[in-house]
Chains A and B, each alone.
Chain A
């Protein structure tokens, strides 16, 4: 660790800062054992994911088999790389809107940009993210991450004959948020998504092809229409239909031995084997 540290007569500085942490003294850059700051070099390699949560570490090690296993135990997903790990390139994202937002400050007006991004794999997973930032790029990136963190599983079923792939919601489901109640009703093939523009986009990305919607409450003014739609989609897996009457084999949570984790209240939202999708 031989260094040029002036006043230290050759002793290294380690983590110590001669300038008491202020940005003022920037002159002496050669202190301590350096890695060599990589200006711009960050772009040369694919950013390797260093997990920050225990679930992230388990996922990266390959100990978790699927995203559904995480949903089964209602474990919070805090890292978007977890969602990317399982859904991969199937996950598409789209910017719904970039909206300039103004705030009145003493020095005039300050404009920031609010980005709305929807992500989904058109096959049972959808998420929505909103981020406001001074720069458009930052807002978009932040919104993508928040959207991935909000991804929920969506169950699909049939309207009538069980031919082909599931295309609509499995049953009538209602979701409520604020003063708004949204009801999703199964529709026959070819009906398309009969819904307002934003919920329609969300349902499309979830992989629902046909559905009727109806809503109640003050959607014009203080509405939580989109959130209510999300609540509906969350409920699709919570509804017990005849094909799920087979007995459940409870499987071990990834954290089964973690006793304090078990002590926390769970809502078990999936009442079926994780590995198999309902066989019609």
Chain B
């Protein structure tokens, strides 16, 4: 094992220290060269805060075709892309809630997180759904709206909805589902044939069978395959034939614009901590560059020191550490570096703070509105990281969505007031990508 303590370093240019310095003890006795009162900046020191909050990390996992049942709503999944597995299948958000506040097109489904709360019976089943508008320009404008107060009627393009149920409810069985064949005990509301996300309360006037959530989706489906099918149905009706020769319209969703469907798996961040110095399992294989690299560099440095080639503190006096913003960014990279493919960080607590990417783009303390339903404050619950964008498979990367992080704040009491009507809207803060 590599010992990085400076026990072996002969600090030749230190005054008053001739023997090997033991930094673990007797630090008070050490007179350090350059003890002209260095007061170093604290910002960005990743070792500093003692985190005693458990953070859950979300990772994406592709779903095999044979396992698609796992992400159906009766299994209470957490997932990314595809259609949402609505928890309450009847009282789905409609109207203004389901459309982008800026361009008025229906929102697209980003991800959902199943996050029950043990202490609250009402929230035995509890899911949060995140929707975004796929237009990058809408996200730009959203930045101005998210800092507006609720009474100013901000028009958002990133929306989060919360739904929760008692264990005993009319949609799902009291006992957990056992496998592939289990179905929910009641059917859900009809959804739009095109997107499969929102309620299909509008119907095609011609065939009267296909349902849509909005005019734009009806138009897209018409252009797609519906025109042909619809005419066939009309023709069949005229002749009095029913069903037999008519091709069945494929059940929704028909749209190819949905993001790839993946399961969202959770794991504790602590499982990814690696204790450098004392991890007995790490055999330091040759392929591990960074750690042994630091060691190699250190050895090289020691060799040069012995040869008398070292720089003095005076030489480097004016080389300062990076700016606060850069240090915050470096701290962010270091934190996610432990598990680079994480896409979500979950930590629901009043004391929890999101992992920000930069100094700007953070909300003010007063910038998080209280719950619009019950008035209690909103606390941080989880944040979506930019790594998720790698998995969303954009066709035109240069113009696609881009964010630094999306931080979701939810009602501290996880109140039932808003949920009574089905879904309670919560608050999402988008920090833009760092400059």
Residues of A in contact with B (beta carbons under 8 Å apart): 1-2, 7-23, 29, 32-40, 42-44, 46-54, 57-58, 61, 63, 76, 78-79, 93-103, 108-114, 116-117, 128-138, 140-142, 144-146, 149-150, 178, 180, 196-198, 222-227, 254-260
Contact = CB atoms under 8 A, between A and B. Distances in A.
Given A11-B76, A14-B113, A96 B54 contact: no
Interface stretch (B99-107, B261-269, B362-370): B261-269
B45 A96 contact: no
Q: Which of A58, A99, A100, A110 has the largest count of B CB atoms less than 10 A from its CB?
A: A100
A13 to B, nearest CB: 7
Interface in B107-135: 113-119, 124-127
Interface string B403-435: 000000000000000000000000000000111
A1 B75 contact: yes
12 contacts: A19-B54, A35-B59, A39-B281, A42-B338, A57-B389, A97-B315, A100-B30, A103-B38, A116-B311, A140-B294, A140-B298, A145-B330
Interface of B: 2, 4-6, 9, 11, 23, 27-28, 30, 32, 34-35, 38-41, 45-47, 52-54, 56, 58-59, 61, 70, 75-78, 113-119, 124-127, 136-137, 140, 167, 175-176, 178, 263, 265-268, 270-272, 274, 276, 279, 281-285, 287-288, 290-291, 293-295, 297-298, 300-301, 310-311, 313, 315-322, 326, 329-330, 333-334, 336, 338-341, 346-349, 352, 382, 385-387, 389-390, 397-400, 402, 433-435
Nearest to A259: B137
Contacts of B329: 78
Nearest to A117: B297
A117 B319 CA distance: 11
A23 B53 contact: yes
A2 B126 CA distance: 17
The 7 A-B pairs with the shortest beta carbon distances in the complex, nearest first, are A37-B271, A14-B114, A21-B349, A40-B281, A10-B176, A95-B301, A16-B116
A135 B276 contact: yes
A112 B30 CA distance: 13
A2 B58 CA distance: 19
Contacts of A76: 434-435
A42 B283 CA distance: 11
Nearest to A44: B285
A132 B267 contact: no
B326 A134 contact: no
